[in-house]
Amino acid sequence: MLPAFGSSRSHSGGDNVASLQSPESRLLRAISGESHPDAEEATCTEISAWYLTGMSGWWSLNIITAELPFFVAELPEGKRLGNLIAVCTQVGNIAPIFYKALTRRRPGNLVCAIGFFQVVGVVALAACSVLWRTTPILLLCTVLAGSVGCMSSVTYWAAVAQRPASCVRGMSVGMTLGGLLATGFAAMQLAGCEQGSPRFSPAVFFILAAVIQAGQGGAFTARSCGQTGGQNGQAANGQGAVNGAENCETTKPPMPRIAKFLMAGCFIVYATTYTMPTLMPFMAGHFGSATASQQLLLWMQVLQNSGDVLGRLATALVQGNRIVLLTWMLLLTASFSVCLLTSVYDASLWFSYSFAVFLLPVTCGLFYFSRGLLVTTMYLYARGLGQQQMVQEITENMGFCGQMGALIANFAAFVLVSLWA
């Protein structure tokens, strides 16, 4: 994905006022009011708004992914469906690239763009409720849902990076809290049920999810409209200072060395994270009947989302420094290696199903705990690497590197699964 923001010029005399005109600042004010990083503590209302905003970005895709245990058991693609959904998610990267092309000459309105993609998410879920039995339609809906999430990955992170740490943490937790709620819905539907006999149908599952997505989008729109009047007044008051500072450009400072480490870290974390949906059906598929595999995959997803949420919450207790980042990166690599081995080789030859029900979900939980902690810690760390413009550039590049890592990893996984699965 390419960063979808406007001009990168900096004005020494009126930088704060000039930033009021940027699209990312309009997004900030639309969600949480005026943005002055770390000038004051965020209110509970503001943090809650960021929780809801984080949930809305990946909600539609989380819902489709949460239904994967049912799809694997019911659709003809079987275990390959996890890889197909992962690949279609990455195809959604075309949305931010297309948006960047449209806004190359003049900044776009991020509030309108995000509102539009919230509608896309609702449409995708509504279509799934009717046409989920048709795999091509399901995958097309996954592309649409993936485009909603991919658009949020860069824009939301770059925007919230200018808010207090509690807002960064709130939005980060919100992104995965949506996944945990989606998995909770799937557990209510499938837990303890025989294959083909869910407690309620996928149609009900997707309709309820579409209603929630619409509610999230409506809350975002209402919040945005509530800030419009204040934004116009601020823009008018600051216009004179903007014009006076137009010729006072400063030299762009060099990017800190640690920024390259953060970008590489995002590449690795996202590459491994978005390979997991491909691996998990194969990990579960080695054990027992179709019903047993479905239940195992379901509990792997429950621990996956629980670990991700807990990892992001743990950033309030874990001090972010280079040693911490390296330690959790090693744990992420180790747990991913276990998942890779148990997906490639028939783990039922090594241990029983009763042990697998414990080991495999816990391993997934450890991986996603490390992932959640790493992602949030890296973005929190990036906030202290310079002034607003530098932080924005670094966080945009981190998001871009992460999405490219996910795209490359899923392409490689798709080729391997197609050849050898």
Alpha-helical segments (H) within 274-387: 276-284, 290-313, 322-344, 353-382
Q: How confident is the model at residue 123 (pLDDT cuts 50, 70, 90)?
A: very high
What is the phi-psi region of residue 198: left when phi exceeds 0, alpha when psi lies from -120 to 50, beta otherwise?
A: beta
CA distance 415 to 89: 16
Establish if 6 belongs to a structural domain: no
User: What confidence tens digit (pLDDT) does each residue in 384-393 have?
Assistant: 776 666 776 7
Residues 6+ apart with CB under 8 A from 280: 68, 82, 297, 300, 301, 304, 339, 343, 364
The pLDDT value given to residue 140:
92
SS3 75: coil
Establish if 8 belongs to a structural domain: no
User: What confidence tens digit (pLDDT) does each residue in 76-115 have?
Assistant: 877 778 778 888 887 887 887 777 677 666 655 666 777 7
SS3 11: strand
User: What confidence tens digit (pLDDT) does each residue in 261-271 have?
Assistant: 888 888 888 88
Mean pLDDT of all residues in the chain?
74
0.85 exceeded by the pTM? no
Domain that holds residue 98: 15-420
Establish if 41 belongs to a structural domain: yes
Which H or E run includes 28? helix 23-32
C-beta of residue 57 within 8 angstroms of C-beta of residue 148: yes
User: What confidence tens digit (pLDDT) does each residue in 288-316 have?
Assistant: 777 778 788 888 888 888 888 888 887 77
Establish if 229 belongs to a structural domain: yes
Q: Is residue 280 predicted with pLDDT exceeding 70?
A: yes
The pLDDT value given to residue 34:
41
Report the CATH number at residue 413: 1.20.1250.20
Q: Which residue has the higher pLDDT, 201 or 236?
A: 201
Establish if 7 belongs to a structural domain: no
Q: Which residue has the higher pLDDT, 141 or 20?
A: 141
Q: Is residue 400 predicted with pLDDT exceeding 80?
A: no
Q: How confident is the model at residue 35 (pLDDT cuts 50, 70, 90)?
A: very low
For 25, the token pair is: 């600042």
What is the phi-psi region of residue 168: left when phi exceeds 0, alpha when psi lies from -120 to 50, beta otherwise?
A: alpha
Alpha-helical segments (H) within 245-256: none
The pLDDT value given to residue 257:
75
Establish if 44 belongs to a structural domain: yes
CA distance 27 to 49: 12
Total domains in the fold of the chain: 1
The angle subtended at Cα 389 by Cα 385 and Cα 390, nearest 5°, is 30
Establish if 3 belongs to a structural domain: no
Token pair 């992104």 is found at 175
